[in-house]
Structure 1
Amino acid sequence: MSADDALFEKGLPIRREVLGADYVDTSLAKADDFMMAFQRATTSWAWGWAWGDPTLDRRSRSLINLAMLTALGKPHELKLHVKGALTNGVTVDEIKAVLLHATAYCGIPAGLEAFKAAHEILVQEGALPKKDG
């Protein structure tokens, strides 16, 4: 087994546990040869190499991801990682705190996008009540 294959095999179960097996398996199943190169790279590098490093726990990695995705202005990915953060035991208050912290450093527009994206997922996942109106 090559080093790349080993990282892929190490990262795949971590990716499934954090993001959900349905999401990951659907992403892999939909990938043609062109997109499978990306699927293999992200599973190996992000999940096998980075998330597979035992130095930081998954809760910490989730909090870091939320801040980085806010800074990068990537609300679509942030939504995915809000679900992952909940899976990793991050509380709604901790998600709110990290988004406020990121807002202070990244600016109001980035923070607003992040808050809207996170709110949508938190309501969808039942972590926040749906407000009628």
Structure 2
Amino acid sequence: MLEKTLVEQTKQTAAKLFSGPVRLKVPYELWKEFDPGLARDLSLFITGNMYSRTVLSLPERQMVAVAALAALQKGEELRIHLHGALNVGVKPRHLAETIFQVGVYAGFPAVNAALAVLKDVLLERGQWPLAGDEER
């Protein structure tokens, strides 16, 4: 892929994920403080290449990220990806269901921690409490 195309693809994907109602400090900003060149390379790979692939849709990709981060109990990174998932149209109830599914594999302490982060994110966005009782 041409460098110019990759840079544009990275910007477009980042805008979809991280331009929402809540201002997020994404890891790229921290990386850039230490090594701007490496930060750029990592961003082009992660956001420009991995997150721009079309095998999974961006909402599906975010649900995978949420599940993995919930299982690993990586709360700060989970917070970023919950916002990203909501920004690309994943329903809050689907995120909760994704997190509950993690309990089968990672245990319910991981579920409890992730649900607490999800609730905080939804509160920040004015989307708490959850409206209605969607499918089970």
Aligned to 1:128: 128
Give the partner amino acid of 1:56: L
SS in 1 for 2:82: helix
Q: Which runs of 5+ in 1 are unaligned?
A: none
Q: Determine the C-alpha separation between the residues in 2 that align with 1:25 and 1:108.
A: 27
Q: Which runs of 5+ in 2 are unaligned?
A: 131-136
Q: Determine the C-alpha separation between the residues in 2 that align with 1:92 and 1:83.
A: 10
Contact in 1 for aligned 2:63/2:95 (Cα 8 Å)? yes
Change over 3 Å in CA distance of 1:14–1:73 after alignment to 2: same
TM-score by length of 1: 0.80
RMSD of the alignment, in Å?
Answer: 2.9
Give the partner amino acid of 1:11: T
Aligned to 1:18: 17
Contact in 2 for aligned 1:28/1:36 (Cα 8 Å)? no
TM-score by length of 2: 0.78
Is residue 78 of structure 2 the alignment partner of residue 71 of structure 1?
no
Give the partner amino acid of 2:69: L
SS in 2 for 1:31: helix
Change over 3 Å in CA distance of 1:43–1:8 after alignment to 2: farther
